[in-house]
Each structure stands twice: as C-alpha cells, then as structure tokens.
C-alpha cells in the first residue's frame, strides 16, 4: 500500500519528516532537546512570516493545494498540514545544523562564507533580472539577496559555514519530501509566476525558499543563544 496516496498524504509526509530528528534529539553529543526554547524563539517568528507569505501566495494563486491529498481542514485559506509543515521542517533543518556543529564544531571558512554570500547575491540578482514580473521568483530571490547583503555587513555571519553545509545536506530529504508534494501533486504551482525550471518535479525557487527560511531561523537561533550566554556570563561575574 502506498501511504503517499489519499487524504493522509501530506500528514504522513510531515510525520516522516520529523520522526528521525525527534528520535535522535537525545543523542548525548548533540543534546538538541536542551535547546528547545531557542528553537521556539527562532522558529515562531520565521514560520509566522512564511505562513503570511503562504496565505498571500495561495490567495493570488502563485500556488494552490490539491484537496485530493489533504485532510480537508483549512485555517485562513491554508490546510492544517501546512501549519504542521512549518513546525516539523524547521525542527528537522535545525537538527541537521545542530548535529554538524556538535560533531564538527571547528568548521569555519571565511572564504566559503564570502564565496557563498557573493554567489547567492549574484544568483538572486540574475534570477530577478531574468524574471522580474514573476511573483515567486522575485519574492524568494529578492528577500534572499537582501538577507545576505545585510549579513555581509554584520557580525552575525560566523555561522554561515555550518548553515550552508546544513542546507546542502537538507537538500537530500527535501528532494524526497518536495518531490512527493510536487509530484503527486499535493502542491500545484503556477509556472507563470516562477522561472519555469524544475529539478525533477520541484521548482528551482523551492530550494532557495528553503535556504531563506534556514538562514532566518538559524541566524535568530544563534543570536538568541549568544545573548543568553552573555547574560549568564554577566550574572556569574
């Protein structure tokens, strides 16, 4: 029996996405469960921004959901599974980042950070120039360019090596999950609002939509953890 058919499809994908990271969160070296409050601080504002973006995109038909693969419970124009998605996917992505930092804490390359930042900004500019009137392209790459321009001028960029590598690792499970979402399709895109380039069945923009989310969330995560560490240090002194 194919569990990725029928009205439970999106729900099962959400469960599968979070199951592994949740079970492994108690690994002693990673101890991700200890950082739950920083995860919430970082995830909630980022997911709220994305849910608002999602509502607008669905209302303007940049993309739409296929009721054949949904439970049929909608909140403000979005299926309940989409809200769950913005809980479980951030958890899984941040878990990947936490694992890389725990096992390879000294990974830090200024050259990689600079090259990645420059490459992302350049790619974003090229995509917008090529497709200036297409909503998914301009919103994704416009926000991505602004984000990385800001990061390049701030001190909160030390985490970018782990972030970029985490995103690269996350592309593997993302290809599976988004492949089902776009292949069934659970999520139907209007290709007149994107570049029209697909990797398999996945729109090119989706990979950078994910990178933008991870960048916002992980930057906030590191910012909150850093502030807490400074506060604890001051209290000890």
**Residues 50-98: tens digit of each pLDDT:** 999 999 999 999 999 999 999 999 999 999 999 999 999 999 999 999 9
| Position 153 confidence tier, pLDDT thresholds 50, 70, 90 | confident
| Position 22 confidence tier, pLDDT thresholds 50, 70, 90 | confident
Nearest to 52 by CA among 18, 86, 81: 86
Nearest to 90 by CA among 156, 167, 29: 167
pLDDT score, position 23: 78
What is the pTM assigned to this prediction?
Answer: 0.92
Check whether the bond before 77 is cis (ω within 30° of 0).
Answer: no
Q: What size, in residues, is the chain? A: 237
User: 158 or 232: which carries more pLDDT confidence?
Assistant: 158
CB 6 within 8 A of CB 66: no
pLDDT score, position 10: 96
Q: What average pLDDT does this structure show over 175-180? A: 94
| Position 231 confidence tier, pLDDT thresholds 50, 70, 90 | low
pLDDT score, position 229: 59
The share of the chain scoring above pLDDT 70, in percent, equals: 95
Q: What angle do CA 63, 13, 40 make, to 5 degrees?
A: 85
Q: Please, what sign has the CA dihedral across residues 33, 35, 37, 39?
A: negative
Residue 198 phi, psi dihedral angles, 5° rounding: -120, 140
pLDDT score, position 230: 59
């Amino acid at each position: 029996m194919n569990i990725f058919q029928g009205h439970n499809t999106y729900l099962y994908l959400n469960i599968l996405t979070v199951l592994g990271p949740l079970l492994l969160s108690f690994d002693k070296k990673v101890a991700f469960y200890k950082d739950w409050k920083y995860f919430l601080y970082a995830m909630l504002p980022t997911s709220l921004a994305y849910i608002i973006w999602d509502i607008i995109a669905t209302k303007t038909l940049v993309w739409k959901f296929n009721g054949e693969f949904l439970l049929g419970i909608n909140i403000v124009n979005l299926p309940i599974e989409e809200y769950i998605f913005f809980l479980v996917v951030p958890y899984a992505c941040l878990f990947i980042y936490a694992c890389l930092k725990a096992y390879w804490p000294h990974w830090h390359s200024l050259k990689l950070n600079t090259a990645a930042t420059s490459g992302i900004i350049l790619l974003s500019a090229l995509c917008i120039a090529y497709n200036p009137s297409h909503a998914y392209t301009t919103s994704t790459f416009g926000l991505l360019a602004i984000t990385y321009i800001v990061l390049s001028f701030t001190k909160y960029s030390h985490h970018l090596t782990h972030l970029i590598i985490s995103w690269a690792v996350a592309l593997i499970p993302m290809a599976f999950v988004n492949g089902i979402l776009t292949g069934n399709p659970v999520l139907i895109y209007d290709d007149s609002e994107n570049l029209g380039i697909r990797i398999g069945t996945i729109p090119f923009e989706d990979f950078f939509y994910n990178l933008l989310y991870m960048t916002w969330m992980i930057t906030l995560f590191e910012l909150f953890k850093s502030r807490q560490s400074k506060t604890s240090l001051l209290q000890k002194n």
